[in-house]
Amino acid sequence: MGLLSFAVLVLVPLGTAPPASGSTKSPVEACTGPSLTGAFAYSNVYAGGAVITIAIVNVGTSTCRLGGYPKLTGIRGGHGYAFASVAHSTQDVSLEPTVLSPRESGALILDTSLGCNANVYPYPPADVYTGLIIILPHGKGRVRVAGLPLFVPCGLGESQLGWAKGFVFD
């Protein structure tokens, strides 16, 4: 409960930074791996799947632009593994690129389909991950998210990195 409470508090924007246009002509530089940290923030299991929210926080000293679709690698046993299938979509939320001032947060939404493996328990070890490496677009670095309970038997959907107007946690 303590980790979830902290993560939810971190996700509330601290200012009123205008959303980035998504254009590469934005005067604000793209966020880089060393200026970001990631943490598991929230999950919601639904019939046949789960939606998982990852908080992405600007821990740098400069404002930066967060957006685009990252590449993802799952962590299991201390090693990285590519996912068999990652789609650019989620069931619930569509995020838009945004501008993050220092200590502001954005997010990444993941959507897993559990339905293809619903009758298998315990989960096959090859489908279970304890962390995630988010590889930022355009070679801007990596963000490691540890302690993430993630079961991916059939593929994964991802949102863009960013924020959505009215984005809240229940």
Decide if 154 is inside a domain: yes
Helix (H) or strand (E) segment spanning residue 128: strand 128-135
Quick one: which of 135, 128, 118 has its CA closest to 150? 128
Share above pLDDT 70 across residues of the chain, in percent, rounded to a whole number: 75
Sign of CA dihedral 79, 85, 86, 90: negative
Q: Determine, yes or no, domain membership for 164.
A: no
Give the number of domains in the chain: 1
Q: Which letter does DSSP use for residue 101 in this model?
A: -
44 is a domain residue: yes
Instruction: Give the domain range for residue 140.
Output: 2-7+29-158
132 within domain boundaries? yes
The verdict on residue 14 lying in a domain is: no
Kindly report which listed range (59-68, 105-114, 123-132) carries the lowest average pLDDT score: 123-132
Query: In this predicted model, which residue has the larger pLDDT, 119 or 161?
Result: 161
Residue 33: inside a domain:
yes
Q: 170 or 81: whose pLDDT is higher?
A: 81
CATH number at residue 122: 2.60.40
- Quote the pLDDT of residue 164: 86
Tokens of 127: 């489908």
From the list 129, 26, 142, 60, the residue with the least C-alpha distance to 161 is 142
Per the domain annotation, does 12 fall within a domain?
no
What is this structure's pTM? 0.79
Contacts of 101 (CB under 8 A, 6+ apart): 14, 15, 17, 58, 63
What mean pLDDT do residues 39-52 have? 81
Torsion over CA: 24, 70, 49, 104 (sign): negative
Q: Mind listing the pLDDT tens digit for each residue in 137-166?
A: 999 999 999 888 788 888 899 999 999 877
Tell me if 133 is assigned to some domain.
yes
